[in-house]
Amino acid sequence: MKDLIAKITNTATQKFGAKYAEARAQKLYKTSLTLKEERVEAAKQGIENGVAIRVLVNGAWGFASVGSFDDAILESAVSDACRMAKLASARLKTPIKLANTKVVNDRVISKPKKNPADIQMEEKIKTALSINKASLGFDKRIKSCSVDYFDLTGTSTFANSEGTFIEQDKLYVWSRITASAASEGVFTFSREEIGSTAGYELFDTQVPEVLGVKVAKLAIEQLNAKSPKGGKFPVVLGPNVVGVFVHEAFGHLAEADLALSGGVLDSNLGKKIGSDLVTFYDDGTIEGAFGAFKYDDEGVPSHKTLLIKDGVVTGLMHNRETAQKFNAQPTGNARAEDFRVEPIIRMRCTYMAPKDQSFEELVKGVKAGYYFKSFRGGQANLDGTFQVGIQEGYEIVNGELGSAVRNASISGSTLETLHKVDGVGKDFMLDPGRCGKGQTAFISDGGPHIRISEVVVGGSA
């Protein structure tokens, strides 16, 4: 494999005039399952081989992907990439340059306690089935339950024309459980995701039966919940909602490509955009966390990146191209879903740092508002408008938790909202998730419980 990809980068630089070239050859093995109401929809497995080639010619990027390790096919792909990049470069105003990064030679071996590749399909089905059964058996108002299971193992071999060569194992184990409940014309829906880069031992801590019940309970509780009132309210957010808030409302704006695209953070570097209680990280070094890895897909070591410290924007997430533009260090955030796509700036494990308050103290400070414990989807726009849908929520009345509410959402402007964080808890939790930005990336996000003095709550009542 080393010779194969060395040949690609040599051909690009020596024969086709590329100033920089990289190749990423991957062998990926995937298993997936979907169970619905104890029925196995299909047990699936797949093998994918392919090479991604990226070249810089006259300051423009050329990218080619082929599902083959064949010499002649790869040569024609390199030639395509270089030719197209050269054509595109004719209109460039600002040629692309890359920040320097050290040359790396490394072999990264994953060391799972239980390698998903060694676990029999029967065993995986059994695990998914226990989740499914526990959920469906919890209450007769549970009408349906789906369990998706996915694992990926394999190796990604990266080399570039600067001499970096990295052979890195890939390992992901992931599951999503959704349940629906119905009673007296009310339909509710709940979901939960788990994931790890450690191994199949994930199910030793995420006990299938407990997981199934947890999802079922969420759907049942919403049956008697009421619609929240729309308007501005103080809210306490659980770690699960804080995570998606940090990811969506702030994280995307701190991706340097989006900041350069005119996102609101470009003009706020070094400025105070939040209360003193606000400190955010994007950390690719948490062992076993969904979204953690040693090297990104440009061969840059993954960092723990400080994004906001005490309310002040201190850094952005970079690839080599944006790091050069900002005169910063690449942070190891360039990730590609697989060999079919080019690396782009993605988050890893994005979270808010905990402080010192208890959950009770946070809730006590709210006269009339809401506690939003877990989310269902979230999204943000470059202008700093965010929206997070709420799965599990409660009223807070005079400092105490009240009735459950369903189908709430919060929204607002990130920059205004971060100033309104007036309480941060001492607890901490990370949740795995998937993020879409044209490609899917496995990520984690989280934080402690926090209180926001005012946010727009979307409700239909």
Q: Which of residues 137-166 bind another protein (CB under 8 A)?
A: 143-144
**Residues in 263-282 that interact with another protein by CB under 8 A:** 263-264, 267
**Beta strand pairing call for 349-352 and 439-447:** parallel
Cα separations in angstroms, 34 against 1, 114, 131, 174: 34, 21, 12, 12
Q: Does 223 bind another protein (CB under 8 A)?
A: no
Of 107, 191, 100, nearest to 144 by C-alpha is 191
Contact 63, 50 (CB under 8 A): no
Q: Does 218 bind another protein (CB under 8 A)?
A: no
Least distance to another protein, CB of residue 67, Å: 4
Q: Does 261 bind another protein (CB under 8 A)?
A: yes
Report phi then psi at 229, rounded to 5.
-80, 140
Least distance to another protein, CB of residue 182, Å: 6
3-state helix, strand, coil in the chain (%, to 5): 25, 45, 30
> Which residue among 1, 6, 7, 50 contacts another protein (CB under 8 A)?
50
> Which residue lies nearer to another protein by CB, 303 or 373?
373
Q: Does 383 bind another protein (CB under 8 A)?
A: yes
DSSP code per residue over 357-405 = B-HHHHHHT-SEEEEEEEEEEEEE-TTSEEEEEEEEEEEEETTEEEEEE
Least distance to another protein, CB of residue 165, Å: 24
**Residues in 297-356 that interact with another protein by CB under 8 A:** 340, 342
Least distance to another protein, CB of residue 196, Å: 22
DSSP single-letter state for residue 425: B
**Residues in 429-448 that interact with another protein by CB under 8 A:** none
Category of 447 on φ-ψ map: left (φ > 0), alpha (ψ -120 to 50) or beta: left
Q: Does 402 bind another protein (CB under 8 A)?
A: no
> Which residue lies nearer to another protein by CB, 180 or 329?
180
CA 388: distance to chain centroid? Answer: 15
Least distance to another protein, CB of residue 42, Å: 4
**What would the two tokens of residue 137 be?**
């058996």
> Which residue among 2, 15, 41, 113 contacts another protein (CB under 8 A)?
41
Piece in contact with another protein (CB under 8 A), picked from 33-41, 102-110, 296-304, 360-368: 33-41
Q: Does 418 bind another protein (CB under 8 A)?
A: no
Distance CA 285, CA 388 (A): 27
Least distance to another protein, CB of residue 412, Å: 7
Radius of gyration for the alpha carbons in the chain, expressed in angstroms and rounded: 24
Distance CA 380, CA 246 (A): 11
- Coil vs helix vs strand at 102: coil
> Which residue lies nearer to another protein by CB, 283 or 297?
297
Burial, 239: exposed, middle or buried (Cβ in 10 Å; 0-12, 13-18, 19+)?
Answer: buried
Q: Does 13 bind another protein (CB under 8 A)?
A: no
Least distance to another protein, CB of residue 78, Å: 10
Checking 124-128 for CB contacts under 8 A at 24+ apart, the result is 124/31, 124/33, 124/149, 124/151, 125/33, 125/35, 125/40, 125/43, 127/203, 127/208, 128/33, 128/35, 128/40, 128/175, 128/208
Contacts of 352 (CB under 8 A, 6+ apart): 242, 246, 278, 279, 280, 424, 446, 447, 448, 450
Least distance to another protein, CB of residue 345, Å: 12
> Which residue among 115, 324, 385, 439 contacts another protein (CB under 8 A)?
385
Distance CA 405, CA 25 (A): 49
> Which residue among 80, 139, 148, 427 contacts another protein (CB under 8 A)?
80
Least distance to another protein, CB of residue 285, Å: 29
> Which residue lies nearer to another protein by CB, 330 or 459?
459
Q: Does 206 bind another protein (CB under 8 A)?
A: no
Total residues contacting another protein by CB under 8 A comes to: 94
**Residues in 104-143 that interact with another protein by CB under 8 A:** 120-122, 125, 129, 143
Distance CA 252, CA 258 (A): 7
Contact 95, 89 (CB under 8 A): yes
Least distance to another protein, CB of residue 111, Å: 26
Distance CA 98, CA 100 (A): 6
> Which residue lies nearer to another protein by CB, 116 or 459?
459
Q: Does 389 bind another protein (CB under 8 A)?
A: yes
Piece in contact with another protein (CB under 8 A), picked from 14-22, 156-164, 253-261, 305-313: 253-261
**Residues in 165-204 that interact with another protein by CB under 8 A:** 180, 182, 186-189
> Which residue lies nearer to another protein by CB, 115 or 381?
381
Q: Does 19 bind another protein (CB under 8 A)?
A: no
Piece in contact with another protein (CB under 8 A), picked from 14-22, 130-138, 348-356, 372-380: 372-380
